[in-house]
């Protein structure tokens, strides 16, 4: 059986735009990050994944949630 692992980084946050270190801090996606999440959702959905796994940080959950049916 062929398996595919796709690793996707979360969308942009205001801190990313400011080149600030986020670590375990939890800023949300900014407008650009939300658009990135929507764009990547279409690509992920087309792969018809069996499983999505995400960090519990808000920016990662926001990105992953866009990919859910």
* C-alpha 27: how far from chain center: 13
Write down the pLDDT at residue 69: 61
Tell me the domain boundaries of the chain.
Answer: 14-65
**CA distance linking residue 64 with residue 11, whole number of Å:** 10
The yes-or-no verdict on residue 61 having pLDDT over 70 is: yes
pLDDT band, residue 68 (cuts 50/70/90): low
């Amino acid at each position: 059986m062929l398996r595919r692992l796709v690793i996707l980084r979360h969308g942009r946050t205001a801190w990313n735009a400011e080149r600030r270190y986020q670590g375990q801090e939890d800023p949300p996606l900014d407008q650009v990050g939300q658009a990135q999440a929507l764009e990547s959702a279409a690509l992920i959905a087309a792969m018809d994944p069996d499983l999505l796994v995400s960090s519990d940080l808000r920016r990662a959950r926001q990105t992953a949630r866009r990919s859910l049916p």
